Amino acid sequence: MSRYPVVDPDGVFLGIVSLDDLLDVVVSEHTEDLLKYGGFLDVIRGSYITTSPLKLAVRRIPMIVYLYLIDLITGGIVASFEGVIQKVAILAAFMPILADNSGNIGSQASALILRSLVMGEVRLSRSDIAKVILKEFSTTTIMLLLLAPLAFCIGLALPFATLKDTYLALRVATTVTLALITSCYVADIVGALLPIVLAKLRVDPAAASAPLVTSIGDILTVLTYFTVATVMLGL
């Protein structure tokens, strides 16, 4: 059956909706969610091919400007630890690795939860939220069984190759590993809970865009990294 009747609450016939109409609505809603998740504050209507570059730029630039302002926080955190970087400059080499890693993990978690919310698999109940936290914590723990040793080896090899100081290389490797572990847990939980929090606030969960999750992950990672470095390296 490719056509379905539409009636009002009183049972009065209003018209017919075809399967094609339903598919058009589904595609439209899915496209809107994808664009929001990609960082479009104002969703583009119509075809990408026929949309002018000016309109594309206008739709894309608000999120970019917003993220610039958010990234100022990251820059401020890095600047506040300038003394630490000056004493152990090799620490700066690991910032992009840690930031990208936490951003990717947060975005993955956010995408999975967003899909689960849309599919009705996750509800906004305390029990489901607890299940999400427990599942993401467990998932991150399993991923860290591979990521933590890898981070330690990289953190050990680079300082040793450049500084030829085994003791310092071990401390830097430990710092990088502890920062990675902490940032992975934090980014995963934040990425998973952000769509749920927005849904509870009656905001479209798709607004938990990948750029926003990545920026939050960067801020938390940089703060964690240099705090751990300050303690571990006695700076």
Q: Which has more confidence, 161 or 205?
A: 161
Give the model's confidence band at 226: pLDDT under 50 very low, under 70 low, under 90 confident, else very high. confident
φ, ψ for residue 15 (rounded to 5)? Answer: 165, -165
pLDDT of 142? 93
- Say how far apart CA 196 and CA 193 lie, in whole Å: 5
Q: Which has more confidence, 41 or 118?
A: 118
What tokens does 79 get?
Answer: 């600047």
Give the model's confidence band at 45: pLDDT under 50 very low, under 70 low, under 90 confident, else very high. low
What tokens does 204 get?
Answer: 């479209």
**Using one digit for the tens of pLDDT, what is the confidence trace for 120-160?**
787 878 888 888 889 989 999 999 999 899 989 888 887 77
Q: Kindly list the domain boundaries of the chain, sorted by start residue.
A: 3-37, 71-232
- Say how far apart CA 162 and CA 169 lie, in whole Å: 10
Average pLDDT, integer, range 48-54: 69
Average pLDDT, integer, range 78-100: 77
pLDDT of 141? 92
Tell me the longest C-alpha to C-alpha distance in the chain: 84
- Determine the distance from the C-alpha atom of residue 67 to the mean position of all C-alpha atoms in its chain, rounded to a whole number: 13
pTM of the model: 0.69
Q: Which has more confidence, 213 or 149?
A: 149
Which residue shows structure tokens 């750029």?
Answer: 211
CA distances from 137 to 101, 109, 132 (A): 16, 11, 8
- Say how far apart CA 73 and CA 10 lie, in whole Å: 57
Give the model's confidence band at 107: pLDDT under 50 very low, under 70 low, under 90 confident, else very high. confident
- Say how far apart CA 80 and CA 160 lie, in whole Å: 26
CATH number for the domain whose boundaries are 71-232? 1.10.357.20
Residue 9 pLDDT > 60 = yes
- Say how far apart CA 187 and CA 79 lie, in whole Å: 22
Average pLDDT, integer, range 42-71: 67
Burial of 90 (0-12, 13-18, 19+ CB in 10 A): middle
